[in-house]
Chain A
Amino acid sequence: QKEVEQNSGPLSVPEGAIASLNCTYSDRGSQSFFWYRQYSGKSPELIMSIYSNGDKEDGRFTAQLNKASQYVSLLIRDSQPSDSATYLCAVKKDSSYKLIFGSGTRLLVRP
């Protein structure tokens, strides 16, 4: 079982729609959860972090965490073509320094 699983996509949505990206993780000891955006050939860029169950909103982005289901998601409202990228889910345990990344979901926003 992979430590962090994401659907590789591509997830294709029209401009202005809501994009929903999902991630599951296997280690129940994971305490911190992150969404990064990575454009092709570029470095990961932090979008959001979430540590508690529930929703966390920042602009057009909403992260959702359900520790009981070991599930974290990212919603992107009013998707723009510039949002087209690979979205990486990463998890971390408090006892560890390392981020464990999923393979990423490629998002394509059609104009």
Chain B
Amino acid sequence: EPEVTQTPSHQVTQMGQEVILRCVPISNHLYFYWYRQILGQKVEFLVSFYNNEISEKSEIFDDQFSVERPDGSNFTLKIRSTKLEDSAMYFCASSGDSYGYTFGSGTRLTVV
């Protein structure tokens, strides 16, 4: 069964550092997403990406965040200057239409 692949599985970074989280969506999917889940809290939408541009973003997705699809397969989330409150599980997802998302296994980001 096709999978969404995320790397790394765990990232520890110092406050103020930049991090890039990487995702390889399912190959024939067209819509890509980032969600995050702070420990013990609900899954929250960050951003959706379609046709090489952001289609929707949440209030959480401020100027510290950016997304990119640098080639035909990767989809990245960059956090420019990490804060302690950015510590969370970050999930990439993709879909072939606007329904039925498949989530990746996640990257646990710990900011110290």
Contact = CB atoms under 8 A, between A and B. Distances in A.
Contact of A32 (B33, B43, B44, B99): B99
Contacts of B99: 32, 49, 92
21 contacts: A32-B99, A42-B105, A42-B106, A44-B103, A46-B100, A46-B101, A49-B100, A88-B42, A90-B43, A92-B98, A96-B56, A97-B31, A97-B33, A97-B55, A99-B35, A99-B45, A100-B45, A101-B42, A102-B42, A103-B41, A103-B42
A45 interface: yes
Interface string A74-111: 00000000000000101010101111111110000000
Interface size class of B (residues with CB under 8 A): 20 to 34
A1 interface: no
Contacts of B100: 34, 46, 49
Interface in B23-67: 31, 33, 35, 41-45, 48, 50, 55-56, 58
Contacts of A97: 31, 33, 48, 50, 55-56, 98
Interface of B: 31, 33, 35, 41-45, 48, 50, 55-56, 58, 91, 98-106
A88 B98 contact: no
Given A32-B99, A101-B44, A44 B91 contact: yes
A61 B101 CA distance: 19
A58 B51 CA distance: 33
Nearest to A2: B42
